[in-house]
């Protein structure tokens, strides 16, 4: 079951008004205000009013979240200072795949048929397993209303960006069906006119989504859904190397639910998804220079049962199995992962003021050590205005296929990158071929397993309801990550280059606080604001600075000097301060709504520029910046809405360091309700 905040649900038996509810945090329908976990909701109303196009647009405006571009042009989400590879992204409760370089590109997800976005912060592996080390983002798609209904959206804007979508649905007593189509294209943009390449090359993509539900009776129902995404984009590496990139992705989801009695219910679910990415580069004479293929498949059956022990206590448990394969260019083999799992959660309210959640999950993986992921959370209501809450959980991120099976040699430079499991075969072969000058790390160190990255996440906070119009949420967090997977040189080649592989080494932590303020002084006016303070550091680096082992130079020719503990800034690409502000106003007389949104990100470092391998205050930083967006929507004749807006009003760009901010975007939009 999935419900949306502030929506009136109607069926043949009842009509009820729901408070803001969330399903991702506990896999049950819970009021957001009663959760003992840090969570945020983004409603359909907000998504529509700000005229967003892609998931990356709307998430970038949420507290503690920032979209970070990768080298391939995609955008991942950084949450509580943790890289995008540590956040699990779901659509209707099932995971997306396709992390070719560790980043799941959320810009490939349209918001045209999204009903609600649920963001759960903190380690969530007790329910969701791998990749939920930092948190979970669940995109819940729209369900049709009763009768025939539909919606048409069209937006055109700068850079010849065109987004068209159509949503059609039908619902009656036992049956509902919906279909959604989205087309998105752009001419791309260029932030640096001094070279021959565009920052983002022209592209076009399409999304098709369909959902069907059928209620056999009051106790048994069937849910079916399918999604298909395809994208084609020019792929340019240099003036002499040009080609294309194609992405094809499909998802199929089936779930049969049954309620046995007032206490017992269960469902059987089957999910399958495949992500394929093909790229090629041609020389100027149209001969093939290089090509790469990525073909990942995930199959997952799961059985879940819930038991209502009493009015105050519930149990939820499930067992399932992940079967995952990948065929990829530059792999030493075609790997196959198999991982059965089981989880159990106990949710109880021993008193009217106290809520306690205890849960755990066990994952038995074919290629790495089994993982046991416990979690505990509680919330205590001190008064009608204030409640305190806290949670502690274990999260893990399994080594990905690339870190285990990569076998890649750069044809122009000559270096080699080997996955951990490929080393024992590839190094002896390279040595026999006379490619190695010496071996730096003995092969014996690769005979054991590469451990999953793991974390203990702690969140402590409070919810304060000053009045019916003012809400304040505060959360203090700490994530301790161990066995972080990094690269190192394991051999030197006779051509002067190196052989790299992966290993467990680093211990890092992210800690800080975040708060949200929501004030609604009238039915027409709503103000929202959020702030995050973040410290993200490598524990080994902290020790090195404390021990006086780190030095720096102001210039290559100047003498070196010893750095102090306070000179260490932290991990790359992390800002100490981030903030957002939003104001929404409705002019009822004119059937017009308007909003102004701003985001701020303080300075951060991308590279070590003084050669000591650490990010210290003497390195060069990307300056802090803010962006501001405005949007207007005017309703005409009840079913027609005209929209106009400007994203990045002041035209901020950083041509060298920030590739996902294109400059000022002016757009117009038309919405038609059917």
Query: Which phi and psi angles does 151 have, rounded to 5°?
Result: -155, 135
Quote the DSSP letter at residue 331. B
pLDDT of residue 19: 58
Question: Are the C-beta atoms of 317 and 343 separated by less than 8 Å?
Answer: yes
pLDDT of residue 72: 55
**How many CB atoms are located within 10 Å of the residue 560 CB?**
12
Question: Are the C-beta atoms of 202 and 232 separated by less than 8 Å?
Answer: no
**Which tokens in the block code for residue 49?**
């009013």
Q: Indicate the pairing of strand 498-519 with strand 416-418.
A: parallel
Q: Report the greatest alpha carbon distance in the chain.
A: 81
Q: What gap in Å lies between CA 477 and CA 653, rounded to an integer?
A: 31
122 three-state secondary structure: coil
Q: Which residue has the tokens 């790229």?
A: 279
Question: Are the C-beta atoms of 42 and 117 separated by less than 8 Å?
Answer: yes
pLDDT of residue 338: 93
Per-10-residue mean pLDDT, the chain, length 674: 38 41 84 87 93 93 88 77 90 90 84 94 92 92 92 96 96 95 94 79 95 96 97 82 91 97 96 94 86 93 96 95 92 88 96 96 87 95 95 91 85 83 92 92 89 93 92 96 88 89 89 96 96 95 94 87 94 94 96 97 90 90 96 94 97 88 95 93
DSSP 55-78: HHHHHTTSTTEEEEE-TTS-EEEE
Nearest-CA neighbor of 101 among 65, 131, 72? 72
| Beta-carbon contacts of residue 88 (< 8 Å; ≥ 6 apart) | 95, 124, 128, 130, 131, 132, 135, 136, 137
**How many CB atoms are located within 10 Å of the residue 149 CB?**
15
pLDDT of residue 18: 43
Residue 264 host element (H or E): strand 264-282
Q: pTM for this structure?
A: 0.91
pLDDT of residue 626: 97
pLDDT of residue 1: 38
Strand partners, 528: 518, 582
pLDDT of residue 13: 30
pLDDT of residue 284: 86
CA 131 vs CA 82, 274, 353, 452: distances in Å: 11, 18, 33, 10
pLDDT of residue 607: 83
DSSP 437-462: EEESS-GGGGSSPPPPEEEEEEEEEE
pLDDT of residue 70: 66
pLDDT of residue 185: 96
Question: Are the C-beta atoms of 450 and 503 separated by less than 8 Å?
Answer: yes
Quote the DSSP letter at residue 398. P
């Amino acid at each position: 079951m999935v419900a949306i905040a502030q929506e009136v649900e109607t069926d043949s038996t009842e009509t009820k008004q729901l408070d803001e509810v969330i399903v991702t945090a506990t896999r049950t329908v819970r009021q957001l205000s009663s959760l003992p976990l840090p969570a945020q909701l983004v409603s359909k109303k907000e998504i529509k009013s700000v005229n967003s196009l892609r998931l990356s647009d709307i998430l970038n405006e949420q507290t503690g979240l920032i979209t970070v571009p990768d080298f391939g042009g995609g955008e991942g989400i950084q949450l509580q200072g943790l890289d995008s590879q540590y956040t699990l992204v779901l659509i209707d409760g099932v995971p997306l795949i396709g992390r070719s370089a560790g980043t799941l590109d959320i810009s490939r997800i349209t918001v045209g048929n999204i009903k609600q976005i649920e963001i759960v912060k903190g380690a969530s592996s007790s329910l969701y397993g791998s990749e939920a080390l930092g948190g979970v983002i669940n995109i819940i798609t729209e369900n049709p209303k009763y009768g025939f209904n539909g919606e048409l959206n069209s937006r055109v804007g700068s850079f010849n960006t065109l987004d068209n979508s159509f949503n059609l649905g039908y619902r009656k007593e036992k049956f509902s069906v919906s279909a959604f189509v989205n087309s998105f294209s752009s001419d791309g943009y260029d932030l640096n006119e001094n070279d021959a390449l565009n920052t983002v090359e022209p592209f076009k993509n399409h999304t098709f989504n369909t959902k069907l539900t059928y209620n056999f009776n009051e106790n048994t129902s069937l849910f079916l859904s399918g999604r298909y995404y395809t994208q084609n984009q020019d792929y340019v590496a240099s003036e002499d190397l040009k080609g294309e990139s194609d992405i094809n992705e499909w998802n199929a989801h089936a779930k049969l639910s049954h309620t046995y009695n007032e206490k017992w219910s269960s469902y059987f679910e089957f999910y399958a998804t495949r992500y394929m990415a093909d790229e090629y580069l041609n020389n100027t004479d149209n001969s093939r220079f290089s090509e790469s293929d990525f073909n990942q498949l995930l199959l997952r059956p799961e059985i879940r049962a819930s038991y209502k022990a009493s009015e105050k206590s519930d149990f939820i448990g499930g067992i399932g199995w992940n079967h995952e394969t990948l065929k990829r260019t530059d792999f030493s083999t075609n790997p196959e992962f198999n991982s059965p799992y089981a989880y159990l959660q106990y949710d109880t309210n021993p008193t009217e003021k106290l809520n306690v959640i205890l849960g755990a999950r066990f994952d038995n993986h074919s290629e790495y050590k089994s993982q046991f992921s416990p979690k505990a959370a509680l919330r205590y209501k001190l008064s009608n205005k204030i409640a305190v809450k806290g949670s502690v959980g274990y999260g893990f991120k399994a080594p990905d296929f690339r870190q285990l099976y990569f076998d890649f040699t750069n044809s122009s430079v000559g270096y080699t990158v080997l996955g951990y499991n490929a080393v024992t075969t590839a190094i002896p072969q390279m040595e026999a071929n006379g490619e190695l000058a010496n071996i730096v790390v003995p092969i014996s160190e690769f005979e054991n397993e590469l451990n999953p990255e793991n974390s203990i996440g702690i969140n402590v906070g409070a919810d304060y309801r000053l009045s019916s119009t003012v809400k304040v949420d505060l959360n203090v967090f700490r994530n301790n990550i161990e066995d972080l997977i990094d690269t190192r040189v394991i051999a030197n080649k006779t051509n002067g280059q190196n052989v790299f592989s992966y290993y467990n080494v680093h211990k890092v932590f992210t800690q800080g606080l975040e708060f949200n303020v929501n004030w609604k002084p009238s039915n027409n006016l709503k103000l929202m604001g959020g702030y995050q303070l973040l410290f993200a550091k490598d524990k080994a680096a902290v020790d090195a600075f404390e021990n006086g082992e780190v030095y720096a130079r102001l210039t290559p020719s100047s003498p070196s000097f010893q750095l102090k503990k306070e000179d260490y800034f932290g991990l790359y690409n992390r800002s100490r301060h981030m903030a957002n502000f939003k104001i929404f106003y409705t002019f009822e007389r004119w059937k017009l709504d308007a909003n102004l949104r701003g985001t701020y990100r303080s300075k951060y470092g991308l590279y070590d520029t003084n050669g000591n391998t650490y990010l210290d205050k003497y390195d060069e930083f990307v300056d802090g910046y803010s962006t501001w967006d405005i949007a207007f929507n005017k309703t005409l004749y009840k079913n027609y809405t005209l929209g106009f807006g400007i994203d990045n009003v002041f035209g901020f760009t950083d041509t060298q360091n920030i590739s996902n901010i294109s400059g000022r975007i002016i757009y117009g939009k038309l919405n038609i309700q059917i």
